[in-house]
Structure 1
Amino acid sequence: MSWAGKILRVNLTTGEVKSEPLNMEWARAYLGSRGLATKYLTSEIDPKVDPLSTENKIIWSTGPLTGTMASTGGRYTVVTKGPLTGAIACSNSGGYWGAELKMAGWDMVIFEGASPRPVFLYIEDDKVELRDAAHLWGKSVWETEGTLKKELQDPLVRVSCIGKAGEQQVLFAAVVNDLHRAAGRSGVGAVMGAKNLKAIAVRGTQGVGNIADPKEFMKVTFEKKKVLADNAVTGQGLPAYGTQVLMNVINEVGALPTRNHRDSQFEGAKDISAEAMAVPRKTDGKPHLVTNQACFGCTIACGRISKIDEKHFSVENKPQYWGASGGLEYEAAWALGAANGVNDLEVLQYANLLCNEEGMDPISFGATVGAVMELYEMGVLTKEQLGIEAPFGSARALAYFAEITARGEGFGKEIGQGSKRLTAKYGHPDLTMSVKGQEFPAYDARGIQGMGLAYATSNRGACHLRGYTVASEVLGIPVKTDPLTADGKPELVKAFQDATAVFDSAGICIFTSFAWTLSDVQPQVAAACGAEFTMDNLNTIGERIWNMERDFNNQAGFTAQDDMLPKRLLTEGAKSGPAKGLTSKLGEMLPKYYEARGWDANGQLKPETRTRLGL
């Protein structure tokens, strides 16, 4: 029934690897990927465990549509307790790795304990081995993948691994696959590093069987691919411009956080936009963007492949960065660019390459640099401490910080702790633009009110992928709402959060939701998994997953006080644009959101909510 029906359990402490049947009762209640892996994790660890201790576990998980012919069915998630936040961490990635694990016959891999020495896991269908990774330790993501493909004599093996950032437990270290696709947020790579786990190399030749109704599945997936192709965003905008199409759009609506959220519009946005990536450079006459790229089974192809200017100061003596490689997505371009006041497209690409190469989340990295630059301009941090002059707008400082953070050198070690710890250490905790310790992505909560509530209540800390109300508030998908008002936002945020949990857990990309609603996903899930997956059932599953994550966080020690935005967004009005003078109306929205969720005033699940959702 579209699940492989078995999971791998790997005890890194003892070296034991064993197969277990998938808990099908849980699969029906939590679907797969994000939901199912979180159910396993929360059932097996103490919510108060230290994320970097041997008692924490980390899970790689696919969904029932992963590896199938459903469009974008290549997603997988990495679920653990996150070191950046201390909350549930669930980080999603595309590329080809997820589909490969499913085609090897596995729904998920659970790692427990910690290895006494560096290891990697090799999966070839039913053959599974833990192998020595001493020769891989210290290597970058790119070197690790290349070495393993050569060593295993298989160019088609897929690798999910960490670079130096994960080894050194940078708290926003990512897990990277296919060179530049990443389970990027919340520090999942640091947990991997703490366990001495360098990589998972997988080769699957079994395909995905067990589709409940193959004829219906073929028919409905074909129909839904046409919906994506005919949509202006998924059929035209994203293939042509990628997520970077948003840079000028969000700037114009006055919601592009700039210089650590001091401003909400960036005068240099046009220089680092999708349009700028597509036009020839003045220096060499070649465009930054080479082509677009798709993940497994994807009919959207929003990925960017870019080429840096070889004469740019950041790479002038570094030919290893001259080739075409993973290009800028909107969130990375914002975090490395507008968040720091930097409008040099080439340096953004260079910093982004380092994040891919060594496995770092560019959002948390860039946003932390924004806090560093503000502390520098205030005179709190000095050139002597940082190793460089670091005012807002300094491209050279950005490049330097990317290098020393990736390598764990000098002040890079402090940046690697994230902005919450860094700003607290230097006496200005209000300057971290984060929720639950995770840095904001690229939308100002004053100019897009629903996103402020989505950030504050996100179970994994500030996040745009847990309730992307930008779709409704800015783009009018599926209905247009006013970004400057709090009216109706609690209900809107809840609806987006619950639906997103289903998309993630099915094993498909959230970008399909620009064209699809849950009513487009439901017939695909039903044809793959069985008729029991009705609209009502999927809505309940989404809500169940959200509340399970919330319940774990509450048990870990989070309270209603943690559903909070930085003081700057609550007290300082936006300086320009449509939201000029506005602050976030979080205080107005939060009680209504709790009520819509069935939580008490302390943000805890009410007994009747727990009963209704079977938690």
Structure 2
Amino acid sequence: MGWNRKLLRVNLTQGTCKEEPLNMEWANEYLGSRGLSAKYLVSEIDPKVDPLSPDNKLIMATGPLTGTMASTGGRYTVSCKGPLTGAIACSNSGGFFGAELKFAGWDMIIFEGKSPKPVYLFIENDKAELRDASHLWGTSCWHTEEQIKADHQDPLIRVSSIGKAGENQVLFAVVINDLHRAAGRSGVGAVMGSKNLKAVAVRGTKGVAGIKDFPAFLKATQDAKKVLADNAVTGQGLPKYGTQVLMNVINEIGALPTRNHRDVQFEDASKISAEAMHEKRPTDGKSHLVTNAACFGCTIACGRISQLDKNHFTVKNSPQYWGASGGLEYEAAWALGAANGVGDLEALQYANMLCNEQGMDPISFGATVGAAMELYEMGVLKKEEIGLDTPFGSAEALAKLAEMTASGEGFGKEIGQGSARMCAKYGHPELSMSVKKQEFPAYDSRGIQGMGLAYATSNRGACHLRGYTVASEVLGIPVKTDPLATEGKAELVKAFQDATAAFDAAGICVFTSFAWTLADVQPQVAAACGEEWTLEKLNEVGERIWNLERQFNNAAGFTAKDDNLPPRLTTEPAKTGPAKGMVNQLDKMLPEYYKVRGWTPDGVPTDETLARLGL
């Protein structure tokens, strides 16, 4: 049936691990992963709970296609109430951990309470137990993974862990698996740290049983893989250049946020682009990129493995960073680079490695540094407070602040609270480029209007993975829309948001949606789970998930006032590029969006909408 039909409930306070049957009625309404974990979370916690208290819960969940031969079927999600935002948090990760959890026979793990001392969960098929992690506490994600494999004398164990950032409650701490794949946004790693849970280690040898119609599944997955291979983005662009392929494209259309969104084009974009990663360095004759890499079952292989220049100032005396490691993705390269005006590719990769090593979200980290640099240039923040000169463009400041934030030292503690809290503390809340306290990713919504609406209405705070209208507005997928127009964007955003929720719930990567529509996903889900999974049902599941998340946020205290953008984007026109003279026109799109969603003018789902979706 695509599901193992059981979950593991771990009470960290009591130190118990108990098996429970999966609620199949809920699985039938929410499918899995993001959808099903949201249903469990909403049913089990008070929406007003303090995210860092033992009463918050942390859920790791797979989807019915996780661990199968469906392309990109390696995804799992980490859900909780997010400490960065106070909203519902659900972070999605690739690599191999999700598939391993499924191979061990589990669909989901629910962590509740707080352990009196540092522990890690060890799962070997049906056997699950909490083990002492005091020897791992205070160490990095990299060390933790290596040590657990050594302790169990098994190199095939898959590990998800937090680094010092999660332990120190950096509000954008992430959960890292397979050394450089991350459940990356909203601070899920800080919640894990607040529970004294250092890691989850899994060894599964059961495989995935219960595919409903195997011959049909084999055909559906083969057909879908061909669609990916034949597509220009998933078959050529992403394998060769990774997500970094977007750097020059987004810069040219005047939508690359630069220097904390003061500008929309970065003069050094080409120096930190995918093309630059392929070029040979004059210093040692090697290119930054070593190879591409794939997560479990992925036929796209957009991941980057790269290597730093050993003579670069950041690593000259640190041989531990000389080996090949997880390379820059587009969002990280932007946040660490253009957002701060830094055009030094090696410095960006160094900061990115620290984010992987100690478990931090490079998007929120980089964007918060950008806000700090602006406060410094305004004279609000002084060198004495930060501990160093921090002007825009300083690779030295970027590298040093990454070290300080990862280790929780000095001004790094302020950076670790995110830009909304930091900017408010220093009297300039308007300089935080965030929605619901979560920092923007790499698209300026003056140049891509639909993304402004997607950011403002995202249930987990500013996010590109909750409604990627860039696909349509820039790349023409599945249809080309004008990035500077506002008409029709409400319908476009809703369609992307609902479809993405369904992709996430299935346990596959959202990057497949560059080539696939839900019509490509449906035959795979139907063959795995049962023929009742029609296209109409998948669409409805996506919409149901979106409205459930919205209900949680409304109950947590969010209102229509929180569906907003910083004044810079709605009052300061873009200075250059195709969007020159334009602001984001959220005020035109938002009322239309509420109407299309079946919500009141105050952004609350109507009784009619709730009844239709069975909420």
Shorter-chain TM-score above 0.5: yes
Structure 2 match to 1:189: 189
**What code does the residue aligned with 2:575 have?**
K
Structure 1 residue 541 and structure 2 residue 555: aligned? no
Deviation, 1:16, is 1.1
Deviation, 1:202, is 0.2
Taking the aligned partners of 2:160 and 2:537, their CA distance within structure 1 comes to: 33
Q: Match of 2:580, SS? A: coil
Structure 1 residue 599 and structure 2 residue 602: aligned? no
Deviation, 1:578, is 0.2
Taking the aligned partners of 1:280 and 1:17, their CA distance within structure 2 comes to: 52
Deviation, 1:282, is 1.2
Deviation, 1:290, is 0.4
Structure 2 match to 1:376: 376
Taking the aligned partners of 1:485 and 1:428, their CA distance within structure 2 comes to: 31
**What code does the residue aligned with 2:219 have?**
K
1:466-489 deviation digits (Å, cap 9, x = unpaired): 000000000000000000010100
Structure 2 match to 1:322: 322
The alignment yields a C-alpha RMSD, in angstroms, of: 0.3
Q: Match of 1:243, SS? A: helix
Structure 1 match to 2:110: 110
Structure 1 residue 487 and structure 2 residue 487: aligned? yes
1:245-266 deviation digits (Å, cap 9, x = unpaired): 0000000000000000000000
Taking the aligned partners of 1:115 and 1:109, their CA distance within structure 2 comes to: 16
Structure 1 match to 2:502: 502
Q: Match of 1:569, SS? A: helix
**What code does the residue aligned with 1:185 have?**
R
Taking the aligned partners of 2:321 and 2:69, their CA distance within structure 1 comes to: 35
Taking the aligned partners of 1:400 and 1:380, their CA distance within structure 2 comes to: 20
1:57-85 deviation digits (Å, cap 9, x = unpaired): 00000000000000000000000000000
Taking the aligned partners of 1:213 and 1:280, their CA distance within structure 2 comes to: 49
Structure 2 match to 1:517: 517
Structure 2 match to 1:81: 81
Structure 2 match to 1:455: 455
**What code does the residue aligned with 2:195 have?**
K
Structure 1 match to 2:390: 390
Q: Match of 1:156, SS? A: coil
Deviation, 1:283, is 1.1
Taking the aligned partners of 1:21 and 1:139, their CA distance within structure 2 comes to: 35
Taking the aligned partners of 1:98 and 1:16, their CA distance within structure 2 comes to: 22
Structure 2 match to 1:59: 59
The aligned runs of 1:298-317 (5 Å cut-off) are 298-317=298-317
The aligned runs of 1:203-242 (5 Å cut-off) are 203-242=203-242
Q: Match of 2:247, SS? A: helix
Taking the aligned partners of 2:244 and 2:539, their CA distance within structure 1 comes to: 31
Q: Match of 2:150, SS? A: helix
Taking the aligned partners of 2:107 and 2:577, their CA distance within structure 1 comes to: 47
Taking the aligned partners of 1:254 and 1:260, their CA distance within structure 2 comes to: 14
Q: Match of 2:78, SS? A: strand
The aligned runs of 1:16-31 (5 Å cut-off) are 16-31=16-31
**What code does the residue aligned with 1:556 have?**
A
Structure 2 match to 1:431: 431
**What code does the residue aligned with 1:510 have?**
V
> Structure 1 residue runs of 4+, over 2 Å off?
none
Q: Match of 2:198, SS? A: strand
Taking the aligned partners of 1:504 and 1:72, their CA distance within structure 2 comes to: 11
Structure 2 match to 1:154: 154
- 5+ unaligned residues in a row in structure 2: which ranges? none
Structure 2 match to 1:583: 583
Q: Match of 1:18, SS? A: strand
1:392-420 deviation digits (Å, cap 9, x = unpaired): 00000000000000000000000000000
Taking the aligned partners of 2:249 and 2:112, their CA distance within structure 1 comes to: 44
**What code does the residue aligned with 1:7 have?**
L
1:329-349 deviation digits (Å, cap 9, x = unpaired): 000000000000000000000
**What code does the residue aligned with 1:80 have?**
C
Taking the aligned partners of 1:242 and 1:487, their CA distance within structure 2 comes to: 31
Taking the aligned partners of 1:147 and 1:501, their CA distance within structure 2 comes to: 36
**What code does the residue aligned with 2:90 have?**
C
**What code does the residue aligned with 1:600 have?**
T
Structure 2 match to 1:342: 342
Q: Match of 2:128, SS? A: strand
Structure 2 match to 1:145: 145
**What code does the residue aligned with 1:76 have?**
Y
Q: Percent same amino acid among aligned pairs? A: 77
Q: Match of 1:283, SS? A: coil
Structure 1 match to 2:263: 263
1:203-240 deviation digits (Å, cap 9, x = unpaired): 00000010010000001101110100010000000000
**What code does the residue aligned with 2:22 have?**
L
Structure 2 match to 1:39: 39
Structure 1 residue 473 and structure 2 residue 477: aligned? no
**What code does the residue aligned with 2:10 have?**
V
Structure 1 match to 2:399: 399
TM-score by length of 1: 1.00
- 5+ unaligned residues in a row in structure 1: which ranges? none
Q: Match of 1:90, SS? A: strand
Deviation, 1:431, is 0.1
Taking the aligned partners of 2:210 and 2:289, their CA distance within structure 1 comes to: 40
Structure 1 match to 2:360: 360
Taking the aligned partners of 1:280 and 1:349, their CA distance within structure 2 comes to: 16
Structure 2 match to 1:529: 529
